[in-house]
């Protein structure tokens, strides 16, 4: 939750609660291991801390259409601004790894319609992600993107596109409001926010950047502490007590 405050402080307009981030921070892979109750509990804590809208990754929705309805009710009640649901089979895999499988598009359309029927406020957004680029190529991803948009999804998220041309083609062929995922060490090349805007994408996610930066910093700090037997040489790399207390608004004017 403290990192959510840093996202807000840095000036970002929204917070993305990544399924990979929640899973990995609990020491498990991004493979649908966490239950809905676990994801809801962790997300609720983050949402309460954040002063900006939060988008929650709910993977495959934790079941079929009826379970998706309950997922929407719970996360909307928790204060999320949006959920992102994907068309992978359960158990899902990280979107940038091989070996993914997707459910039939018609089944996912039923999940989208279930999600839409369960939300109380139209302002609560349903983001539909397709992982079909990996299983059926860009043409299948486009076909599904169109179907999901026609089903009423507020935003369409094509996962793991591999070139700028693919992002451009997907945007041109589907239209609508689009989401891009700019993760590191994956299938997608580095593309800037401005470039994504030119390609037709309204929302860009950076799901693991802060987590990976933090993990690397912790690893290096622990190695230095073990080697030196003191943290004195690390002090200039640490957030001070005053800085952290200001972040959480504790006891400092």
Could you give the 3-state DSSP secondary structure of residue 96? coil
pLDDT digits (tens, 9 = 90+) for 24-52: 999 999 999 999 999 999 999 999 999 99
- Quote the CA–CA distance of 160 and 235 in Å, as a whole number: 39
Q: How far is CA 160 from CA 24, 131, 184, in A?
A: 19, 7, 11
pLDDT the model gives residue 59: 97
Q: Do 119 and 12 share a structural domain?
A: yes
The mean pLDDT of 125-145, rounded to a whole number, is 98
> Does 71 share its domain with 147?
yes
Q: What is the DSSP string of 198-245?
A: HHT-SEEE--SHHHHHHHHHHHHHHHHHHHHSSSGGGGGGSPPHHHHH
Category of 61 on φ-ψ map: left (φ > 0), alpha (ψ -120 to 50) or beta: left
> Does 81 score more than 70 pLDDT?
yes
Structure-block tokens of residue 205: 């996610």
Same domain, residue pair 100 and 134: yes
Token pair for 32: 């649908």
Please indicate, yes or no, whether residues 22 and 103 belong to a single structural domain of this protein: yes
The rounded distance, in Å, linking the Cα atoms of 41 and 70 is 15
Number of domains the chain is built from? 2
The predicted-structure confidence for 151-172, as pLDDT tens digits, reads as follows 999 999 999 999 999 999 999 9
* Residue that finishes a domain, picked among 191, 207, 223: 207
| Helix orientation angle between 133-150 and 105-118, rounded to the nearest 10 degrees | 40
Based on the domain organization, do 170 and 217 belong to the same domain?
no
> From CA 180, how far away is CA 182, in angstroms rounded?
6
Residue 106 scores a pLDDT above 90: yes
224 and 148 in a single domain? The answer is no
pLDDT band at 201 (very low <50, low <70, confident <90, very high): very high
Average pLDDT, the chain: 97
Question: Do 101 and 32 lie in a common domain?
Answer: yes
Question: What range does the domain containing 228 cover?
Answer: 210-253
pLDDT score for 252? 63
Same domain, 97 and 165: yes
The CATH number of whichever domain residue 187 belongs to comes to 3.20.20.60
145 plus 157 within the same structural domain: yes
Domain boundary residue, one of 192, 207, 222: 207
Mean pLDDT of 134-162: 98
Do 35 and 79 lie in one domain? The reply is yes
> Residue 253 has what pLDDT?
56
Radius of gyration of the chain (CA): 19
pLDDT band at 244 (very low <50, low <70, confident <90, very high): very high
Note whether 30 and 124 are same-domain residues.
yes
Q: pLDDT-based confidence at 251, cuts 50/70/90?
A: confident
Asked whether residue 224 falls in the same domain as residue 192, the answer is no
């Amino acid at each position: 939750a403290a990192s959510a405050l840093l996202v807000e402080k840095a000036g970002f307009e929204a917070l993305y609660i990544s399924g990979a981030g929640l899973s990995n921070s609990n020491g498990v892979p991004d493979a649908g291991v966490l239950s809905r109750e676990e994801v809801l509990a962790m997300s609720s804590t983050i949402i309460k801390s954040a002063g900006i809208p939060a988008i929650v990754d709910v993977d495959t929705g934790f079941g079929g259409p009826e379970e998706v309805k309950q997922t929407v009710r719970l996360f909307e009640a928790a204060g999320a601004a949006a959920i992102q649901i994907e068309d992978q089979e359960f158990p899902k895999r990280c979107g940038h790894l091989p070996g993914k499988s997707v459910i039939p598009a018609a089944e996912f359309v039923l999940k989208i319609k279930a999600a839409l029927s369960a939300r109380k406020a139209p302002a609560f957004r349903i983001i539909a992600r397709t992982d079909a680029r990996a299983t059926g190529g860009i043409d299948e991803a486009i076909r599904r993107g169109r179907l999901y948009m026609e089903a009423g999804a507020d935003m369409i998220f094509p996962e793991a596109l591999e070139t700028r041309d693919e992002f451009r083609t997907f945007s041109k062929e589907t239209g609508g409001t689009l989401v891009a995922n700019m993760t590191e060490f994956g299938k997608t090349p580095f593309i800037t926010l401005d470039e994504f805007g030119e390609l037709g994408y309204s929302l860009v996610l950076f799901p693991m950047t802060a987590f990976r930066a933090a993990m690397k910093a912790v690893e290096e700090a622990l190695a230095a502490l073990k080697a030196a037997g003191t943290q004195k040489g690390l002090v200039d790399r640490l957030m001070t007590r005053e800085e952290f207390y200001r972040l959480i608004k504790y006891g400092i004017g």
